[in-house]
Structure 1
Amino acid sequence: MTIADIRATTVTVPLEAPLRHSMGAHWGRFVRTIVEIVDDEGRSGWGELGGGGESAENAVRSLLPYLKGHDPLQLEQLRWKIMNPTASLYNNRTQLHAAIEMACMDLAGKRLGVRACDLLGGAVRERIPFAAYIFYRYGDEATGAGGETAPDEIVAHAQDLKRRYGFTTHKLKGGHFAPDHDVEVMRALAQAFPDDLLRLDPNGAWSVEQAIRVGHAIEGLKNEYFEDPTWGLEGMRRVRQFVRIPTATNTVVVNFEQLAQSIRHDLVDVVLLDTTFWGGLRQAHKAGTVLETFQYGASVHSSGELGIQLASMLHLGAALPNLGSAADAHYHHLTDDIIVGGKMAYRDGMIDLPKGPGLGVEVDRAKLAEYAELYKAVGGYAYDRDPGRPGWFSTIPEMHYADPALKTAHVGSRR
């Protein structure tokens, strides 16, 4: 079993409604690059990374001359071939490696008849819990969904998600409006879900002082953790000094150098591990074992995944003994998927670990072609541009300006 071909296809899959965040908005769809590795016996293994287009596809395909003939089971060799630290300093290959590694673990699992998590040591759980990922949303005329900005609207949205999927943890993607608006929403969620856990994540948009003030305002709620309230390891350290809520990050601890600093200096309590940002499923799992050793929390981060990456997240969550918090997933915002059988199902706020070999999912080639054509028709989008705020751009920390229409304040700057 050796690599014979590497293929890449950009797709875009619609969301129920555009998602607003501190840096702008997801424009009602996710753009992903689907990676297919074909071995010399005709098997296909699948991987996925964020973004897409000709440059991303060419970057993936350009690895074929380098990896042709490589044994997909030789995963440590693969890491050094693609993600050698010196090479990655000048050529950011982390997410490329993540997608290639996913596909190789899928291939190896299929060849051996074992699951991807079995290549990490096996599963300690067969169902992985997830949190409701709650965004302020623009309305979508086609689906009739979205339009939530006020606290009562967010609560109604969260109640609908709980009814449909069974979530018992609710994460608000804050930072889009002024901090006081997020505080008001968090208090409304706490009142509506007195038995459930809460999280607030403004994506590092606030100053340390703003973050401390918000942290104090919500300390009495049933908070699981306070995620990326400010930017940088030093900023997180300062917030942690003054706020009595466990802190978490997925933005400032995304490699082993940062993890070492965070642990040595006691900077962050919980690290959300991403199977693409960390460079692959194996690297994320390795980081989880380091966190276990030093008694820090681990969870699973979401980066706008389709079913292939979600499968990798499930295998990570299954293999982490110290998965102390429900995983994140944008997945419930999608209207469809590219895997055979359609979207994976939630039961009681959890998703079952796939049973098949490798990642346990297979790509529906008709769906892959359909959403590749949709990408060609509508194109990509600029991640940090907000269609509702022409000329706006984000700054850190954010500044506020009044918006009479919303009777609150946006954050960011105007041109």
Structure 2
Amino acid sequence: MVRDVTQQQVDEKALTDAIASRTLSWLTGSSSNNDYISVGRLANYFGFVGLRVASGHSLSRSQVAKQTLAVLDKKQTEILLELVEDQKAPFKQVIESRYEINRALEGLLVGESLSRTDFLLLGQDYGQSEAELGRVIAQSFGQLIPTLTNEQREQLQTIREAHLAGRGHELSFDGPKLKMSKADKKELTNLAARLLSWSTGSAEFNDFEVVGKPSQHFGFVSLRIESNHGVKRGKVSKEVMSLLTDKQGKQLQQTAKINNSQFQEFMQARGKLLRTLEVALEGEVIDKTKVIEYGKQTGILEASMTWEQAQVMLEIRQSLTQEQASTLLDMRRRYTAQVDLKETMSSLDRGRQLYAQCSLCHSNTFSSTVAPNIDNVVGKRIASDQDFRRYSDGMQDFAKENKIWTEPLLQRFLASPKTLIPGTYMSYRGLDNRQDRDALLKYMSQSRN
């Protein structure tokens, strides 16, 4: 059954689900989780997401691409192959801009200062670079689409209708055999699928945007991948909301209300950008100045939504009880399928992301009744946080025998807290990996001074 995506609306309930599910993924995740992005998310201006949702998620991107490439002639295929190369520089710029946003957000998790104004400027850069990537793609599509014959247009329309009806797999098109790298083939697949959706679609399909696409900086997509797609946003949201207190839940709902207004503004600015790109369908040259203007607008609005979400998640983290924090970590372990998505990174970067998880209970920016402050803990007197008054008897006895947190002691404690200090209130089971412990201690001893 074909879904009418033009009637699908984002509302406060959908945004509450998005923020609640991100509360789990962001507060318990890592840099590599946050950096992961789904195929086709960047420069999502060409209607493929709308096509996929309308089909009930039944269509395959690679299948659509293969069938589309089979329809194109040699010169048209060469335009796409050239585009694979032409988009690499703007694509890299988008990725770098997105990384800047992610690192800034993770800085908030570990107590680094960042103003809303500076964050919105990062969003502006991201929006501009993403819009420029869209312009490069749209201009190449605009070069190709006018060359399609009537027969080719009919074939592409047939492909679209077959996939919407769930019969795309029944079509038999033999695409060209192309020798190219795996990465380039992935991008060609993405471009060919977008060419199909843009050349056969409408403004309504291009305008469609799902709730999880803006502000995709909090690692939920990665969590879905780690769970072998077993994680559903609504289910996670329900579980997280049931864990939170009424006050914490209302904080999320209030942010969703604010985001709902921002989302509508975002969609309006995005619509202006899409209309600017769509002139390429008529063979016209895209106005680069307008692309930059509307790209900046969408970037700022998306960053504003992201900022509000990050702030409420940080507020909730501050008010979490130890039981709530432990439950969130257990929830993630239960959902994930132990798929290692960790990228190669420096020891200090790895330590920083591990420290962010410690910050679920241990704050370095506010007094906590859950756990003591661990800022500058290496070389610090044990059980010496004057603002924390709930040290266990076991920890206090340990402090009498061991005055200072040395790195060897912290190595043993991080490996298994309850083994080193029986009776400690710390519910964390331990960090098994020695390299991770080294990275965390390196960050805590170097970066926090």
TM bracket, shorter-chain basis: under 0.3
Computing the radius of gyration over CA atoms, which structure comes out larger, 1 or 2?
2
More strand by proportion, 1 or 2?
A: 1
- Does 1 or 2 have the higher relative contact order (CA < 8 Å, sep 6+)? 2
